[in-house]
Amino acid sequence: MELELRFFATVREAIGASTARREFRTGATVREVLAELESAYPALEGTLLDGEEIAPSITVLRNGTHVVHFDGVETELTDGDRLSITPPVTGGDG
């Protein structure tokens, strides 16, 4: 299956691109996708996963919704899904 990947801020810097389309195994989980990205981009190694869990230094959205509202790192993705990876989103100044 093909996923649309969007990268923001420091994650984008590490990858060197803002978007990518990439093939994954049908039914791949968020964990598998993050692991593959860590393998594909050396600058990301150790930054997306903390053991088996999503690293606290990133936020992962599936079609704009935080993956904690699905099954978290176990969320199974489907063809055409958009996965956005960003540093944690904080509350803004003012």
**Interaction site with another protein (CB under 8 A):** 6, 8-10, 12-13, 18, 56-57, 59, 61, 63-66, 68-69, 84, 86-94
Q: 3-class SS at 2?
A: strand
What minimum distance in Å lies between the beta carbon of 6 and another protein?
A: 7
Confirm if 30 and 59 have CB atoms less than 8 A apart: no
Residue 25 or 31: the one with the smaller Cβ distance to another protein is 31
Classify strands 2-7 and 82-86 as parallel, antiparallel or unpaired.
Answer: parallel
What minimum distance in Å lies between the beta carbon of 62 and another protein?
A: 9
- Token pair 């803002």: residue: 18
